[in-house]
A and B are shown apart, each in its own frame.
Chain A
Amino acid sequence: MGVFAARPIARLSYFGPYCCKKYNNSIDRKRTHYTWEVRQNNTSLVFIIIIIRMQVHDKSGNIIHYVDGSELNKSNWLRYINCPENLHQQNLVAFVVDESEIFYLVTRDIPIGQELLVYYGDIYAKKLGIDTTKFS
């Protein structure tokens, strides 16, 4: 499944927050595939592990918490946004507000019918068999 634009979406619009369960326990993290790790350094937002997982780090790189979108009844539609295969396809970037909430920023105008795609980081991309050099 993927998410597509039903109407033109302007650049610099943003979607969010990525609604889901938050926790600090790394053990819980291992049993789900829909988790972001949240750290204090906003630039180090990384989508990790096998399916859908985000992490947000602190300024020292420490994990603040994990954001888990695996449960359908505790997450929202942003969980359905997929990872692009190359930089050209990407039209969203993830960012963190107040070291807590995750939003997706629209980086270019999206016409009707185009799929919304956000890069989840090299680790996740490699799990999908994507050539990560296309994003450097």
Chain B
Amino acid sequence: MRRRRRERGTASPVEALLWLGPALVLIIGVVLYPAITLVATSFSSYSITGLRKGDAGITNYTTFLTSPDLPKVVGNTAIWVAAVVVITIILSLGLAQFLSKEFFGRRFVRWAVIVPWAAALVISSQLFRLILDYYHGILNQALLTLHVISKPIDWLGDPHFTLPSMIAVGIFVTIPFTAYLFVAGLNGIPGDVYEAARIDGGSPWQIYRAITLPLLRPTLLIAVVLNMIYVFNSFPVIWILNGSNPGFGNDTLITYMYKLAFRSAQHDVGLSAAAGVFNVLLILIAVAVYLRFVNWREGSKNA
């Protein structure tokens, strides 16, 4: 169906430069240049006020990698990304299946699903900060009234509950985009394939396993990769919900990096830049490993 778009005209690189030039300037100037600046910064030492003092060699990296907080932060990041991405994908698959059925009121359901996506993450995070509040939060009140819990839970202060609470909020705000990706993917599967499977007597679950999932594979890959990147880089949820806890006990690599540069007592820009480089490399490797693992080329050829 999409094969015919392979026929493209040819153009000279000079003409291409005219058409792509503006986009290139912006990408090089505001994405690549800061990336290079980040690397350069990571090899320099800075005063607390942000003035460059000179070369630092690899000391920023050794300081960062030997920091006693790092193992905890890396662990948090792994749990945060894995839990949010996996649970989001599973729930979104179900939700997308539901949203792609015809029924009365579907339009309103789709609009409601958009709301957490359209709302700024920082606003939703502030909202959940209050909802999950120990004293004033409606969640504790509701659970107490329903006798689910016998005494209030400090969702955002108790070390056992802070990360799980943040993960729950992370999933809540990530589902809408993911579900819409899957709705789009499901729409792309031609209806006659299902018709044929039904005539062959396949049960709904068999049809789902044998037809829907394989045909949804490209979308699934995109959804996992994009969500890995977005969730890893997600800042507001953790920044706001973990805002009143001291130390780095609930931080992910992103908020840890941010605190090193802008909030900690040291204000160490060089150290934070080293953390930034580490983060970028880590997410690149994670995505590459994932694509390797699911055998990207095989999958896209079959699809």
A binds B: no
